[in-house]
Amino acid sequence: MRGQLTRSETDRKLAGVAGGMAEYFGLDPTLVRVGWVVAGLMGWGLLAYVIQWSVVPRTREAPAGAAGSAVRIAEERFARGEISAEELAGIRRDLEGRP
């Protein structure tokens, strides 16, 4: 798990709720979306999704400058499945200068 639960700006189909939850819990976004569909079929999922949509804040903007652009590009590649979560974390770590 990571910091605060937020709606994803890069991995979204509707409002970014499933993408944000997947990132927060370290799960595959497709599994989270399937879970929302199953919950919707059970009757309570649509209401829960709308509540999440209205309560959970959007992801904060990426840092400004070249590093922010690089992070944004890496997040878009992750959302498309071109890089793994570990590679995305490594890119963020490298750009922030952390070991």
pTM strictly above 0.85:
no
Distance CA 51, CA 15 (A): 11
- Among 2-11, 31-40, 55-64, the range with the most confident prediction by mean pLDDT is 31-40
Name the residue ranges covered by the structural domains of the chain: 1-59, 61-99
**Residue 71 near residue 62 (C-beta atoms within 8 A):** yes
- At residue 63, the pLDDT reads 47
3 vs 92, more confident: 92
Helix or strand (DSSP H, E) at 54: helix 45-55
Please determine, for residue 1, whether its predicted confidence score (pLDDT) is greater than 80.
no
- HSE-up of 80 (CA within 13 Å, CB side)? 7
